[in-house]
Amino acid sequence: MADMVRKPTPPRPSRRLLLGGGLVSVLVFLWLVVPGPWPITGGLAPRVFAHYFWGVESTLYRPAPDQPLAFSHVTHAGALEINCAFCHRTVEKEETASVPAVEQCIFCHKIISGTGDAAVAEVQKLRDAFQEEKPLNWVRVHRLPDHVQFVHEPHIRFFAQQDPAAPLEATCATCHGDVKTMTKVKQVRSLKMGDCVNCHKDYNAPTDCAACHY
């Protein structure tokens, strides 16, 4: 008699639930594998793999952002060998490295139009901004938390006082990478606390909390 009792059939998932689950799976796959402007970074899985197994640190960071003007460090810092402080004028004497304003760029480019159609077009954008009295809203590439105080001046001074003295561009490259080879500037170091502490240990610099958190 008991064998004749039919067992209840388990409920089948609805089509909406199946479609929703499939969509979530596809989105997670895209976030992990495909590069793109995601909240952390595109292609997270291969970037993490490269970081931990190959030591490729720069793979973990956001792609280089598009800027309002395609400023070429390859041309200015590379081919023309312009010193970093020529454009970032406060880097050797203040907390932050200033980003050049339109008025500073136009000092040279009022006369210099660039070489090639692409460069000429970018210089024209600069001249238009100057004529219209509009700023260039550069997109920030390197950012530290608000509770971290990083002052450029003592770091620049420290390396300048070494024997032999480090050239400014080499000091800047310690954190910012070799920008003269970058078509677009991007973050190449984590800039996290462990990264800073390790550097301070290497150069016998202070590692107490008050050095950066005050």
| pLDDT tens-place string over residues 155-193 | 999 999 998 999 999 999 999 999 999 999 999 988 889
Say whether both 77 and 55 belong to one domain: no
Domain termination residue (choose one: 45, 63, 81): 63
Please tell me whether residues 145 and 202 are part of one structural domain: yes
Greater pLDDT, 51 or 83: 83
Residue 3 within any structural domain of the chain: no
Q: Which two tokens mark 168?
A: 């400014």
**Claim to verify: residue 155 and residue 180 sit in the same structural domain:** yes
The answer to whether residues 151 and 57 belong to one domain is no
User: CA triplet 131, 115, 139: central angle to 5 degrees?
Assistant: 55
pLDDT digits (tens, 9 = 90+) for 13-35: 677 776 777 788 877 776 665 55
For residues 205 and 154, give the distance between their C-alpha atoms in angstroms, rounded to a whole number.
11
Pair 53, 95 in one domain: no
User: Of the candidates 79, 99, 80, which has an alpha carbon nearest to the alpha carbon of residue 91?
Assistant: 99
What pLDDT was estimated at residue 54?
47
Q: Are 170 and 176 in contact (CB under 8 A)?
A: no
Question: Are both 167 and 197 inside the same structural domain?
Answer: yes
- The range of the structural domain enclosing residue 52 comes to 24-63
Report DSSP state, residue 193: H
95 with 149, same domain: the answer is: yes
Segment 120-165, tens digit of pLDDT: 999 999 999 999 999 999 999 998 888 999 999 999 999 999 989 9
Query: Are 86 and 43 found together in one domain?
Result: no
Q: What is the pLDDT of residue 33?
A: 58
Residue 38 has what pLDDT?
45
In a domain, 18, yes or no: no
Q: Which two tokens mark 19?
A: 């479609």
| 204 plus 155 within the same structural domain | yes
Full-model pTM = 0.68
pLDDT band for 39, please (50, 70, 90 cuts). very low
Please tell me the distance from the alpha carbon of residue 20 to that of residue 214, in angstroms, as a whole number: 48
Q: pLDDT band for 200, please (50, 70, 90 cuts).
A: very high
Q: Are residues 143 and 198 in the same domain?
A: yes
CB-based contact 48:56 (threshold 8 Å): no
State which of 39, 63, 87 marks the end of a domain: 63
- Asked if the structure places residue 147 within a domain, the reply is yes
How long is the chain? 214
Statement to judge: residues 52 and 147 lie in one domain: no
Check residue 46 and give its pLDDT: 55
